Structure 1
């Protein structure tokens, strides 16, 4: 990707300490952006920035819990004061919770909703307002309208398809997709793009570090092992997702399915939702 696309841009990436977040942060840095790498694990975010400095323009690491409203308020204010209003925001931080709906407790719901949905809400609301206010404060020239910025929300192919073994995760990702569509419509007049990126299985630690509920789907450890095996067999690197994120920002794409299963589930959700309902009934394999 040519450097000129993001030369001088400031990009905020949450969950940037590993996986898709780290890959996106590095891809943006290599394309000329200065990166704010935010993660609940500060040393991991610092490692991302160290790599960004060796391969790109570098940036700054921050520790933040995206589910904490006050922490996100303080983070957004500090980014604006210490740096400036960001041009790109990638709300990527996410966690996985697997298990049947009736076996998933309120504590698990609070955790997955806090990170996967509220984290996106906080990042989009706080930085989206900064972007909009910046556009409104600048004189606009009809021949060269102001570019307001771009928000990328990492959803999932799970946003397109129900599954009995992952109701909490699917619910949050479907909400992120709809939030992104609504926000895109609202911010279009300020020339702020919004994209929902929806990957299928990707080689990250989200499955390894996920929460697995004991119940009808099998023991938590067996569920974890099967999930990790599926990710290994799929072997889809996060760097490929990062490439799609960069392209989506440049082209201002609204919804971006990633990899085969992402595209397949997206198509089926539009042309044959009944088939997805049938597939959703299949329990997680035993053994």
Structure 2
């Protein structure tokens, strides 16, 4: 940034105080977020305590939800009149463009029908397959091989067999795992495989890379799969959980899935932080 010519003659040791944030500065994104947040709070929206980019407004039995990602807003609700009123309030403070019904958002395709909504990442997965050079490879039917033992040790302490070499470029493995992590948004079936592979981010070996590319080949065989959210009224919340005590001698692996009615809304596969001394305590 340079001073205007009329100010240069007044001294060299002067700075400019910005009245408003400029695009591209470090503070610009923060200032934009504050302005959007204040605008929604002034419109009587409530900011979620679990996700600061999520805002909702209750009016009687109806609700309007606004999800913000940088300068992209996803607006939905149970009442068309409230949705239109929210759009009008936002238009009064920001220059906005209404793109209509959602079809594609942050790499996620939204396919609507009379019986529900399907969320998938078909385009994202196709780009991932192309980037990894596996367009001509054969798909697999499972994310990981059965009874596979991946380790970061130079040799297997159980069998004494020599391990494989480290990858010369660890960043390629790290980027691939990061992209696969994003694919778990609509593909819970690869959550366990990504949990296993993400443990070798610092010093990945060739066997780890081959296991990661196997997950990509598994996605290739089921590109169109995703999350099915049914259009059925339900107040039933079902929670499924399980643990694998034998997978790790020190800490067990847990997994859970939460269904709202018949729709899957939350899932996870991770290693517990605490050490369980018995299978009863583990469950």
Compute the TM-score of the two structures, normalised by the length of structure 1: 0.22
Structure 1 or 2: more strand by fraction = 2
Structure 1 or 2: more helix by fraction = 1
